[in-house]
């Protein structure tokens, strides 16, 4: 599963989308189990029981949990307002959240500033029932789990702009589909949001590309007229099903480019886990996230206090004994002191000899160069997918590290070759050699797509190059 962003977390990722509960257990960045609840979750009151079953079914051994939530009671809005100070904006947002909430009780809200022009300020606002957040936190605590992050689905969509490889100052429109929505996200290439839109498709199976083209054009015009930003590219995530770039292109005046990433429901859970805990859309309060650390500190403090008390009592008794024994006691321990001094000198001599031996071992190790090229070539021969042809493989020692360069081309079409290259790169980075990639194949292929090169025509167009060093 490729997301464009690597991480080493151990966490149980949970998506709760309109009552559908799905869990993904991740240990040090690797998926170890998944589970889908067979029945919809109609109330958060018994969510603790479902969490317990998810932990059992995925065999998850950790304690940290992250949520991705979408519900009719959760509101997501885009606002464009005159510029104002941060304090005034928060007062305004609090009033807007109270107006836009659809729940009866109190609400909690999070916001993220968006790029805007023409003397105005834009922001994305999410409003949730406070009861939802409280019950999710309570359900975790009942199962001795710690909720670390709780994101709305919109936060995962906005993060995907970073996967297309656009220039930082380019404005890109990303189209994808998740559950019952078609999502349009407009942002710069470095991930700064402008705005997003959510469309309800007229057909659950097939997308109306003409209607989608009109909505894309409306979004482009809004960006130009209201924000002073020109959209340069449209990216489709989910090419072939349900989107087809060739069918959308006649209805859009700028290039339409298919993304090689094919998301599924578990993909969006993975994306949410890559988001930082201090993300502005995280609904888990800071005091809840820090609770495990506070409990540990309390235990440590209590242990230190007990230790100091015991030490104080012991020290008092020792001093009283020394005073009572006086000179007689001092004379009796003198031989022991001399013995300890001699032992100390002996140990210092041994430490010096050990340091000398270590220096000799390091010298010998520096003279030995392991046959790593042969080992790597043997491993590479076992992991290269059948659809890839290698034209050059080089493993050389440069400046104290092993540099790897692999060139070749794909025999199959664009999508198949992209999947094979993704698999090869994953085997190299996560395999026994832990290759750190300094040049991936993705940037070159995305550049070809932006230039209009038909990568399915020739094997030269499907050529690739991977450069990295062995970690």
Per-residue model confidence as pLDDT tens digits over 309-353: 556 666 666 666 655 666 676 677 878 888 888 888 888 888 888
Per-residue pLDDT at 329: 62
CA distance 138 to 71: 19
| Residues facing residue 243 across a β-bridge | 239
Per-residue pLDDT at 405: 93
Q: State the pTM of this model.
A: 0.60
Per-residue pLDDT at 261: 79
Per-residue pLDDT at 218: 95
Q: What is the pLDDT of residues 44-86, one digit of tens each?
A: 888 999 999 999 999 999 999 999 999 888 899 998 888 888 8
Dihedral sign of CA atoms 69, 73, 79, 84 in order: negative
Convert 420-442 into a string of H (helix), E (strand) and C (coil): HHHHHHHHHHHCCCCEEEEECHH
Beta strand pairing call for 75-81 and 64-70: unpaired
Q: What is the pLDDT of residues 239-282, one digit of tens each?
A: 445 678 899 999 999 999 988 777 777 888 998 999 998 999 99
Q: What is the pLDDT of residues 426-457, one digit of tens each?
A: 999 998 889 999 998 888 888 888 887 776 66
* Structural element, H or E, at residue 160: none
CA distance 234 to 336: 83
Percent of the chain at pLDDT exceeding 70 = 85
Whether 369 has a pLDDT exceeding 80, the answer reads no
Average pLDDT, the chain: 84
Per-residue pLDDT at 2: 41
Mean pLDDT across the stretch 82-109? 89
Q: Locate tokens 């509960």: which residue?
A: 21
Q: What is the pLDDT of residues 175-191, one digit of tens each?
A: 988 777 788 999 999 88
The per-residue DSSP string of 222-271 comes to HHHHHH---EEEEEEESBTTTB-HHHHGGG-SS-EEE-S----HHHHHHH
Question: First-to-last CA distance in the chain?
Answer: 22
Where in 40-170 does DSSP place strands (E)? Answer: 64-70, 75-81, 107-114, 121-129, 146-152
Percent of the chain at pLDDT exceeding 90 = 36
Q: What is the pLDDT of residues 124-183, one digit of tens each?
A: 999 999 999 999 999 999 999 999 999 998 888 888 888 888 899 999 999 988 777 788
Whether 22 has a pLDDT exceeding 90, the answer reads yes
Whether 3 has a pLDDT exceeding 50, the answer reads no
The more confident residue out of 378 and 108 is 108
Q: For residue 304, with 0-12 CB atoms within 10 Å meaning exposed, 13-18 middle and 19 or more buried, which class applies?
A: exposed
450 closest CA partner among 170, 176, 224: 170
């Amino acid at each position: 599963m490729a997301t464009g962003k690597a991480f080493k977390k151990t966490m149980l990722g949970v998506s709760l989308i309109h009552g559908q509960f799905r869990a993904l257990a991740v240990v040090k960045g690797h998926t170890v189990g998944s589970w889908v609840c067979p029945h919809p979750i109609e109330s958060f009151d018994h969510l603790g029981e479902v969490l317990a079953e998810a932990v059992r079914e995925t065999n998850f051994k950790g304690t940290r949990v992250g949520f991705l939530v979408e519900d009719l009671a959760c509101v997501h809005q885009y606002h464009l307002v005159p510029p104002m100070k941060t304090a005034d904006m928060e007062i305004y947002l609090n009033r807007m959240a109270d107006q836009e909430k659809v729940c009866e009780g109190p609400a909690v809200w999070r916001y993220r500033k968006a790029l805007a022009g023409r003397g105005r300020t834009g922001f994305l606002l999410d409003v949730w029932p406070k009861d939802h957040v409280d019950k999710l936190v309570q359900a975790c605590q009942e199962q001795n789990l710690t909720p670390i992050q709780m994101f709305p689905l919109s936060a995962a969509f906005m993060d995907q702009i970073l996967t297309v490889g656009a220039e930082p100052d380019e404005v890109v429109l990303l189209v994808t589909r998740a559950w019952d929505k078609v999502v349009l996200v407009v942002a710069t290439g470095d991930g700064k949001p402008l705005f997003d839109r959510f469309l309800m498709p007229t057909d659950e199976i097939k997308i109306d590309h003409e209607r989608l083209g009109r909505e894309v054009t409306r979004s482009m015009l809004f960006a130009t007229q209201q924000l002073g930003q020109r959209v340069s590219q449209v990216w489709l995530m989910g090419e072939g099903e349900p989107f087809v770039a060739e069918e959308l292109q006649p209805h859009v005046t700028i290039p339409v480019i298919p993304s090689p990433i094919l998301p599924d429901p578990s993909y969006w859970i993975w994306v949410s886990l890559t988001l930082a805990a201090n993300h502005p859309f995280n609904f888990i309060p800071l005091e809840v996230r820090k609770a495990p650390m506070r409990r540990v500190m309390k235990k440590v403090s209590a242990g230190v206090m007990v230790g100091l008390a015991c030490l104080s009592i012991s020290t008092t008794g020792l001093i009283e004994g020394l005073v009572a024994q006086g000179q007689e006691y001092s004379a009796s321990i003198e031989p022991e002191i001399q013995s300890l001094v001699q032992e100390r000198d002996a140990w210092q001599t041994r430490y010096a000899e050990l340091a000398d031996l270590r220096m000799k071992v390091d010298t010998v190790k520096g003279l030995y160069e392991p046959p790593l090229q042969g080992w790597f070539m043997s491993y590479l021969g076992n992991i290269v997918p059948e659809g890839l042809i290698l034209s050059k493989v080089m493993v050389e020692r440069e400046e104290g590290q092993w540099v790897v360069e692999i060139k070749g081309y794909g025999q199959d079409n664009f999508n198949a070759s992209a999947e094979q290259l993704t698999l090869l790169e994953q085997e190299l980075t996560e395999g026994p050699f832990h290759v750190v990639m300094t040049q991936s194949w993705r940037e070159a292929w995305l550049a070809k797509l932006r230039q209009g090169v038909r990568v399915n025509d020739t094997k030269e167009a499907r050529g690739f190059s991977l450069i990295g060093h062995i970690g």
